[in-house]
Structure 1
Amino acid sequence: MTINSAFQNLLDSFCDSYERDEAEMIARIVFEDVFDLKPSSIVIDADKDFSFEKSERLTQIIQRLKNHEPVQYVTGKAFFYGNEFEVNSSVLIPRPETEELVQWIIESTSNKKQNILDIGTGSGCIAISIKKILSEADVFATDSSLGALDIAKRNSENLQQQIHFKKSDILQSENPFNIQFDIIVSNPPYITEAEKSSLDKNVIQFEPHEALFAIGDDAMIFYRKIIAFANKFLKEGGQIFFEVNQQYGKEVVKLLNENNFKNTKLKKDLNGNDRMVRAVK
């Protein structure tokens, strides 16, 4: 099998499941990240042999992709805010919308000594991306999943950023760090059971449900708990940031206002959906 025929075999195997452009993008990601073949090699070295070992690996990858497994889990990596993050099924795949949240946080403060907390850190993409820019800040992060924390810790080591991690479930525990914070950020589970049927099959089958779904149809449960936490542990004048379900952005704003937060702002993402909220204590 040649490199070109292997590439076409991969592309043809799942092109019925994706738009052509997306299928080609996935195929190129696989060849570059799994087989260490640059896009130019597919053209320049098209007639070179594709080894038996690589052919066997390709067969396994094709099966995983045909089963709708996200390519990020197949390659074990995702790119976020200009950096490469390790991912597996213990963590959500970082989304572009969350990059916008990180950018908003960075624009809303300065690089100074301050305490920043990321609740429900997952892969660590928010905490680590903030620390890379706001290097003077002390960044703390929690998650209820040990599997997620293992990935987050590896990402912080790979990207050489010191983050203080603790296992903690915001629904059941108090402040595991026993300090006050200048900024609290969270992208909590906010999809309701009623919305599950609208999600893509690859999300439902492979991404961690505990990081996706609120409890039952209570989309606000994590927001209520985090706001109560912020009332105790966010400094006066400190900022709180949320990523939100586009259907509940106004409810999050209302909840913050009812808890005496001020300067509350609901912001849309690049797709025009209500996606982020900021408020000041």
Structure 2
Amino acid sequence: MLATLIRRALSQSRSNEVELGMPTAIPELFIFHTTEDRHIVNQLQQSGICLILQGSKEVKVGNQRYQYQAGEFVCYTVDLPIITQYQANNGDYLDIRLFFDLPLMREIIDELHRQNFKFSPASKHKLVSTVSPELIRAFEWLMTLTERKQDIPVMLPIAKKAIYYYLLTGEQGGTLREIALQYGNGQRIAKAVEWLKNHYSEPFDPAWLAMEIGMSTSGFYAQFRQMTGISPLQYQKNLRLTQANSLIKSGSKNISEAAFAVGYDSLSQFSREYKRYFGHTARQDL
């Protein structure tokens, strides 16, 4: 079922020297491709869907790990700092990622409400799903637009609507509906995540942030962990380490400069947490 989608994605990735995150003619669509196993790939995963076409991967979010393979997908409901290991089975790892357009998704939800559609129950435990034939065909249509750029202005919203329709009417539809509508606590946690992304290098009091978004401290902790899998303080720490890792690997800062730039006051604490998070020292990355 995936053969046509694989062929289209590989034809683009092999014509481009960039492996892993390769942009396409569609701003929200990226192709991730590697011909070898890759360990400890650190990134900030944007809210969207990741569909594996070849190979398999393991994703670590905080202390939680989960695996998925070709023919399976994950929907990330908020931006998350993650660590990924890619396994290139039979010579290739390949996935495609579409970042969510929430206003467009809400249009589909409104139409489904008018039809009295019954969404599946929202679940924070169902992370990995098997892709349906209908969703595969919708992604094939989306991929054809990357080769027919003149069609994108008119056809892209229609192609994305088809993908969102099959996601929302599938087993993760209830969870996606909550995120897209961002009502109640979901909206408040989304605001907290956005604040942390913009102020990750600053010290903050979780009780203050809870008050700012209109929640009790205990409720904030519980809802934040439910949506992200980690606590607010751990989320901030992971963001800091993610950014420090990028600064060190790029060569733009040395270890101490990177530590202080992302908000650490203690180099020894930074070194301990860096090694605990990535499994190796900052000096090895340098």
TM-score over 0.5 for the pair: no
TM-score (norm 1): 0.28
TM-score (norm 2): 0.27
